[in-house]
Each structure stands twice: as structure tokens, then as C-alpha cells.
A and B are shown apart, each in its own frame.
Chain A
């Protein structure tokens, strides 16, 4: 069997981080081991559905995962209709009632799980190995032959209303929504919430229309990972999905960058904390500089030993869990620093965050720091790919963004090649403080005067 080598011996050169004041230095450990993975088996059906099979692990389990290119991006004004359609998939098919679907899935060792995102709907089930081929057929049934029984619609809509009520009370949800709106305006990625009236008005015909307009073989990719009989699973995929119509082509709607950065303030009188989202649109994973940006984000605010975290958590104590992150859509990406800070330190926190960005733009980090981030990223890569769903998620990510296969096999060497000056230049190029949008949720009577002292926000605060 062919193997892919994900990480290998060059890591041996890496040194341990220095410890201040240690009397005895930690032992460095042994020689690093290759992370080798079976070569995935890939094939495509005549109707355009693509399949990837990956032998992985030792537990007698298999994960079946379908990613289908339909989500919020296809909704138009009909917010949450893609989710509603996804949830209705499990409410019955031509050959199974909802209860029979749940019982059949349970008898294989799993539960059918349907998720809806900005660009895709995912169907996922995790079963005992002996049921892998049957689980493929069950997933095919749900995707191809849903009946959308009207009797179940009201209950799901009530669940959504409950979720909506909870979201509206959560400062993090409010902040993320306000922030998304600044970056994406009227594009569906702004992730607006529906009104209650809008939710109530959705009909089973709306659901059916969304399904007909967006579901079909050429938009689907199926992945199977774990311990399973490859020949049987391949035959099951071919048989169960081979008759599916090609369906509509995938819709690509890449959002424009905002014309100017914005500021959104959401008032929660009496709130003891301010919830901050600061960031901007950046490059996406298909850009050759993406891994450098991931590295830069990690060093700046992406892990516990990062600069922003050390500063506003460890040193100043303004916040418990600040975090910066990168997120992406197809040919679209953005960077965000998030934090829930003590309300009286809202301005201080932002001043420090901006300050850390300026510092990294002006001065390349030291060798120790680069080393620490490099080790962290390589280790995270191995850890996150040490499970069926983890490795499937990464392969699906590579497929989704159309990345070269080397993205997987050369990840570690790509990270290893990044220099301190790369990080400085990446910050200078992509993390421009003056271009960043800001959303703050908190008691505005306290927040606003603090924001008024920040030069970056001068003349930009809303009334």
C-alpha cells in the first residue's frame, strides 16, 4: 500500500524553548517519527459525484461524511432556509419514516447528523465498521429521496425560534453578527438572523424549492475514513449514488471587500464585560501566502503563548480568553481578534491589540519565538489529523479550496521554512490596523468614551 508522509525527520533539528530561571533544562526527547498515512483512494461517478476512501486507525469504526455545495450563499433573502432544508432531510424519505431513519442509524452505531454552513451542507454518520456500506446507503437515501413531510415543519421552526431567542441574549453571538455585517454587508456571509415573522412564513414548498434548486450529484463529495472493507464501500457508493441526477451547478458568489472599514456598537446596559471583534478581510487558503498568514496569526494571537494573549491576559489581566483566528470561504478569507474584556478596560485592550500589531509590522520576531510557533503549528497539525474526522476535514478542506495535494504532504516543511522576516512582512501586508472593522457589545455609556480616545477610531464611531 502506498503511504503519504505528512511529517518527517527535519523536525529533529528543532530546539526546546528556553526557560527563564530553570536550574535544570528539560530533556529534549527522542527522534521525531514520520506521520504516514495510507494514500486515499479517489474516484468519480459519471454524474459528477466524487468519492474519497481513506484507511485510518485501528478501532473498528468508519466515518461517512458528505459535503454538498449548498448553504447560506444560495438562500438569497430567505435567511436560514438552507438550515431548515438540511434539518428536514432527516424527517422522512421515500423508504423510511423519521423514526426508522433514526433507528436504522442507531442500529449501525451512529446518528445521522446534518449541518448547514455558509457554503455547504454536510451529512455525517459514524458507525461500526461492519455497517459502513449500509451507512453509505442510508446517507444516499436521505440526500436523494427526502419527502419533506409538512407535519414536521412547525416543530423545527419552533426549535429555530428558541435558538433565535437564545442568540439574542448572547453577547458573543451579537458581536459576531454585527462584525460579519461590517465585513460582508448584504452578502449572505453576513449571517443575518431571520425575523420571527420571516421564520414563521416559510412553507414546505420553500424547502422543496431550495432542495430542487441546490441538491444533486455534481455538488456532492463523499468521504469515508476508518477501518472498513474498501471494495464493499466503493460498490455501495457506486450503487447508491450512481442513479442520482447531476443536478444544478455549484453557485460561486465571492463577496466584494467592504468599501471602508466600519464600527458597530451594540448596547447592553449594565453588562460587566465588553465583547470585541476586530479584524479585516484577507487572503484565502488558495493564496501561496496563506500558511505564512496562519503562522503570523498564531504568533500574534492564535495560541496561549501568543503576543496578544500574553499581553492582555497574562500581563494586564483584562480578559480571560482572547483569541485571534483566520476563517475562510471559497476564495474569501478574514482575520479576527476576539476578546471578552472587563468593561473598564475596553479601550486599553484595543490599544494593546493595535500596539501588538504595529510592533509585529515594524520588527521581526526573535528566533526563539519563531521556533515555538513552528513547533506548535507542526504539533497541532499532527494532533488534529490523528482522528478520522480530523483528517477527513483536512482532505475536504483541500478539495473545497482546490489546493494542491502537497498542501497536506508538505505542510510541515512549508511551516519549517517560514522566517521571522516573513512574519513581519505578512503582518505589514495583510494586517493593516487602519483597515480593520470593529464590533463591540457592551454597556455603551462606558464603552464609547473609551473608544473616543483611540486614534484608529477617530471620526469613525457611529452616533
Chain B
């Protein structure tokens, strides 16, 4: 059996990065623009909107005879109506409870019985359902998704008219559909989704905008089960799609993506506080698949012999460096290469591509915008990195969370009757 390998699994932050809300053209610059072009990678995008408002995105890929079908509803846990808090997540589960032609849990059995995998999740700004299936089974999955979009069976008396809530949302359907021509696939989507009624307008959206944060916030929590203390920090990031946001994506990479990153070098290698540093813009996704305010979050689990203040002083020293001097060309080049490497894999994976296409269709009405992300990242200059760090990596722009380890649990004791 695998022994428990002693290493910390850290989220691969910065594997995906980039952005675009108002598809801001990359700034026209300039002398120090990062290095050699190297390969680029774009994906085909076919975009249609059905008469009932359903947005449909198709993107062929012939790597393997599999297809990803992803249905994204423009409702997440921070933009649901005020009196309906929790509904987005509730619906994620309701959607497996049965519809006109699919009994409870039969959606799952159907997809698995086709040789597919499936999942659903609730995120800040959307709820999604996605399946990866052998390519020739796409029509079956479209039928099933349409069935539950049209006729979800809601039986609990205390849920009043939740179908309306769902149907009022803009719906997006994305396929990563190789081996089938896009025209035929569009026809299938029309056949199964085209007659689903579209109620009037989307409900009024709550205002989730945030004022500029001026003063650092700090919280302390005690976790009675934690064997080691933890520390996390979060900075507000620039609006998605702005040049500063692209710069922030590279800043996040320079700070905490990989063993060559500045925080890894300082906190792990030099100081030995922890086995690793985790960090991400958007802890529940990537720097592109959200709408509205977002945070860059970093965290580590450390030994009790070091205080949070000591560690934060080292974090500050690293960040102050980026706020006082422009990064050198080599560091910026490296961040760009790492970005491209991770981003290409996101675009190449069925789910990763579908997720970005759906996000850009939902939030920007422009799924092809994902092909502009790389150019936006490539346009970032050391000067822009400096400006962005000065404004967004201010101490006043952050919140720090200190997690204290509880007294610990009684040690487990073991008795055994060996079979050997």
C-alpha cells in the first residue's frame, strides 16, 4: 500500500490565470514587454443564442473521442436574491432529485451507464453541471439536461415555485464536442432546448460591489481539531479584464506559483515555517471564471514555534520588494511561461475549456474572449506590475486570518489481532 507520503498537497494556484470582462484590449506597449513569443494556443469557438435566450457555445477538439457537456446557470451563492439565500446550492442538489423522465438519482445512473463522469458545483457567480462522455453519447446527455431544465420535479411544499427561480436565469450550454460537426450538434441543442420556455427578465441583481479597503483587517480563530496553526491573507484584486488584473495574475505567480516563487523561497526554503505555501486568485476556481469582486488568497500551515506576526513580517518583506522596484525581465518572462504552460492545459482539457467558454459567455457575452487572455497577459510590463503591486498589495487592502491550533485531541490508541 502507498505509505502516506510526507508532503503537503497545495492547490496549484496560477495554473489558470488571465481575464476579461470588458474585453479590454491589451495596452499598446512598449520597450520592456516580455520576451520571445514562443507558441500560442487558441481554440475554435462557435457561438449561437437560441430564440429563448439560451446561449450555446461549441468548441471541437479531436484529442480523444470524448465530449464535455457543461450547463452553467448564472446564479451563484453571492448573487442569489436576498430572501433566497442558499437556493443556488440547494438547487445544485435538487437537480439530481428527478425530472419528468428521470427518477431520483437516475440522471447519475444514466450518465455513468453511458460511460461518462459527471459533477455539479455552486460557485460565487454560477451553478454548473457537467458531464464528460464518449463523444457519440452527447445527444443522450443533451436530452437529459434539457429534461431537468424543463421539468425538474420539486415536491417539497415549503419550496414555493423554485422552478421559476431557475428558469429566470440565463442559461448557457457549452460543448466540447469532437468528432461531430458543429452544425449537427447545434441542431440537437435546438431540438432538446429550443422549446423550453423563457420567462421574462432576469431578477434584479444584488449589489456586490465593494469600496476600496483602506485599513487592514485581522481575525483570530481557534480550531480545536487543528494539529498545527494556520495563517491566511487575502488582498482585493483589480477588476477582471483590466490590464491591472492581468498584471495581478502574473504577480500572484511571481509570489506563490511553484518552488521558484518568492514566497516559497522565503517562507519554505529560507525560513522553514511550512512545507508549502498555497495561493490563488479565486479559491473556488481560477482568475477568469467569476464576475465581480475577487481576492488573492495565500495560506500556510506552520509549526507552533513561529508566530503569525513573525511570518507576516516576512510576507511583507517580500511584497514590499515588489512594491518598490520593478521586477527584472527574467522573473517576468518566467511568470509568463508558467502562465502559458498552465493555461494551455486548461484550454486543452474538456472541462477547463468548457468552464472558461461558459464563464465568458455568461459574464461577457463573448466566449471567444478566452482567446484574448494570452495576449492580455503577454502585454504586462514591469512598470504595470509595479503600479499594480503598489495599489493592490497595500497592507490596507488586505485581511489576515490567524488560526490557532486547539489543545489537540486524545491520541488514538490501537489494538490489533494480527493476521500474519
8 Å CB interface, A257-314 against B: 258-269, 303-305, 314
Closest Cβ of chain B to A166, distance in Å, is 6
Complex partner residue of B105 from A57, A261, A314, A437, CB under 8 angstroms: A314
8 Å CB interface, A97-112 against B: 98-99, 102-103, 105-112
Complex partner residue of A264 from B136, B137, B350, B415, CB under 8 angstroms: B415
Complex partner residue of A60 from B39, B117, B138, B333, CB under 8 angstroms: B39
Closest Cβ of chain B to A253, distance in Å, is 14
Complex alpha-carbon distance, A12 and B298, angstroms: 49
Query: Which one, B73-81, B139-147, B354-362, is touching chain A?
Result: B139-147
**Does A117 make an interface contact (CB < 8 A)?**
yes
Complex partner residue of B259 from A83, A111, A461, CB under 8 angstroms: A111
List residues of chain B with CB within 8 A of the CB of A72: 3
Complex alpha-carbon distance, A20 and B132, angstroms: 23
List residues of chain A with CB within 8 A of the CB of B272: 154-155, 158
A-B CB pair tally, cutoff 8 Å: 303
Residues 385-416 of chain B, each 1 if its beta carbon lies under 8 Å from chain A, else 0: 00000000000000000000000011111111
Can you name the residue of chain A whose Cβ is closest to the Cβ of B339? Answer: A109
**Does B89 make an interface contact (CB < 8 A)?**
no
**Does B2 make an interface contact (CB < 8 A)?**
yes
**Does A458 make an interface contact (CB < 8 A)?**
no
Complex alpha-carbon distance, A327 and B2, angstroms: 9
List residues of chain B with CB within 8 A of the CB of A87: 7
List residues of chain A with CB within 8 A of the CB of B417: 262-264, 460-462
8 Å CB interface, A145-201 against B: 154-155, 158-160, 162-169, 173-174, 176-186, 189-193
Q: Is B180 a contact of A30 with CB atoms below 8 Å?
A: yes
Residues 22-38 of chain A, each 1 if its beta carbon lies under 8 Å from chain B, else 0: 11111111111111000
Q: Is A34 a contact of B65 with CB atoms below 8 Å?
A: yes
Q: Is B1 a contact of A191 with CB atoms below 8 Å?
A: yes
Q: Is A129 a contact of B39 with CB atoms below 8 Å?
A: yes
Query: Which one, A241-249, A345-353, A357-365, A381-389, is touching chain B?
Result: A381-389
Complex alpha-carbon distance, A279 and B52, angstroms: 54
Can you name the residue of chain A whose Cβ is closest to the Cβ of B62? Answer: A58
Can you name the residue of chain B whose Cβ is closest to the Cβ of A167? Answer: B4
Closest Cβ of chain B to A461, distance in Å, is 7
List residues of chain A with CB within 8 A of the CB of B330: 107
Query: Which one, B20-28, B240-248, B282-290, B340-348, is touching chain A?
Result: B340-348
8 Å CB interface, B45-87 against A: 61-66
Q: Is A375 a contact of B115 with CB atoms below 8 Å?
A: yes
Given A106-B260, A383-B66, residue A174 in contact with residue B412 (CB < 8 A): yes
**Does B383 make an interface contact (CB < 8 A)?**
no
Complex partner residue of B420 from A33, A162, A258, A266, CB under 8 angstroms: A258
List residues of chain A with CB within 8 A of the CB of B275: 159, 162-163
Q: Is B338 a contact of A106 with CB atoms below 8 Å?
A: yes
**Does B301 make an interface contact (CB < 8 A)?**
yes
**Does B322 make an interface contact (CB < 8 A)?**
no
Q: Is A21 a contact of B103 with CB atoms below 8 Å?
A: yes
Q: Is B416 a contact of A181 with CB atoms below 8 Å?
A: yes
Q: Is A19 a contact of B63 with CB atoms below 8 Å?
A: no
Q: Is A59 a contact of B41 with CB atoms below 8 Å?
A: yes
Q: Is A29 a contact of B4 with CB atoms below 8 Å?
A: no
Closest Cβ of chain A to B179, distance in Å, is 5
Q: Is A19 a contact of B102 with CB atoms below 8 Å?
A: yes
Complex alpha-carbon distance, A199 and B62, angstroms: 49
**Does A61 make an interface contact (CB < 8 A)?**
yes
Can you name the residue of chain A whose Cβ is closest to the Cβ of B39? Answer: A60
Complex alpha-carbon distance, A281 and B143, angstroms: 43
Q: Is A375 a contact of B41 with CB atoms below 8 Å?
A: no
A-B contact pairs, 12 of them (CB 8 A): A11-B134, A16-B110, A58-B61, A99-B265, A128-B38, A130-B38, A159-B6, A163-B6, A166-B227, A266-B412, A268-B412, A305-B112
Using a CB–CB cutoff of 8 Å, the interface residues on chain A facing chain B are 7, 11, 16-17, 19-35, 56-61, 72, 79-80, 83, 87, 90, 98-99, 102-103, 105-112, 115-118, 126-130, 154-155, 158-160, 162-169, 173-174, 176-186, 189-193, 258-269, 303-305, 314, 327, 334, 371-372, 375-380, 382-383, 385-387, 437, 441, 460-463
Using a CB–CB cutoff of 8 Å, the interface residues on chain B facing chain A are 1-8, 38-41, 61-66, 100-103, 105-106, 108-110, 112-117, 132-140, 143-144, 179-180, 225, 227-228, 258-260, 264-265, 268-269, 272, 274-275, 301, 303, 330, 333-334, 337-338, 340-342, 344-345, 347-350, 409-420
